[in-house]
Structure 1
């Protein structure tokens, strides 16, 4: 008698599909990867993605949430702590909301972190709703903190400059995570700290220019 697949078999298959999709999405771009390619990479039947996820977007969401959910929760927690302070947030405070969880993710699993960051970088640059829709409450809180830090900057300029800062951070962190070959090091820590300082400085300067332009 043929053995029936149980819940654990299904979980293993879904995990294999998420692993395969994360690898291909990071290397080739989300829109450049077909469902057929994911099934082939995972070594599964042609209908596996449709059976277990229903669609490519649902599979992408699973990829984003697997490593992204703990990152999002950490960002949200740090943002709530920052919002509770009486002091005005600095650019370094704002950038730290992202760099701390990213660094912790890299320390947990550098290879998966690099892939997740690479995928997020692609989607963030394109303002893709498939990424933005995964954490609406956290995104709202971040924008509130940016507005609190730069009240003299028009809202559209706040959003643009914060988006550039966040994208720069994601892209460069992903590249360093990928380049270090899965082994975090003191040099990587130093580089990420320097990157955070660089991005914070750029954010501060861009906001100052925008504020001056607005008041002129």
Structure 2
């Protein structure tokens, strides 16, 4: 039907690619030729390597999920009445922190209280913590006794203010953090003086 069918368009003549493109393709061919031979001749070895990497990746994912499950279980556990902390370790910590505070290094003294408090909690209840636990997450663990949670939160807040707000801590900040730590770590020692070096 000549009224709706048109004559085919002439096919343009085939042009050779530009010389620079040909040279670039030859360069890549020479560059990847050894890799292609290696993969073509040792495909079973590459398959084994990929299988090992796949298994290692799956194990890492399972381990991460298991840690999160442990942390979620710890977060839903009811609060305990006591968190037993080694008395000698608490006294040694206060002595070290008092020495820093006596030298006017209040930021370091409070930071030391926070670090060792995390170690105390990890030693008493290792199932509560994971390597990625933050100070805020630790302070929200329901299993922590109220006194421990209150002290830990106060110390963590002072450290955050020092590190992130870039506000140097003063003697009053140190005394507050020290008193909070001693209140829960040494609560079994009656009449202990909570004041430290200023």
TM-score (norm 1): 0.28
Q: Which has the larger radius of gyration?
A: 2
User: Per residue, is there more helix in 1 or in 2?
Assistant: 1
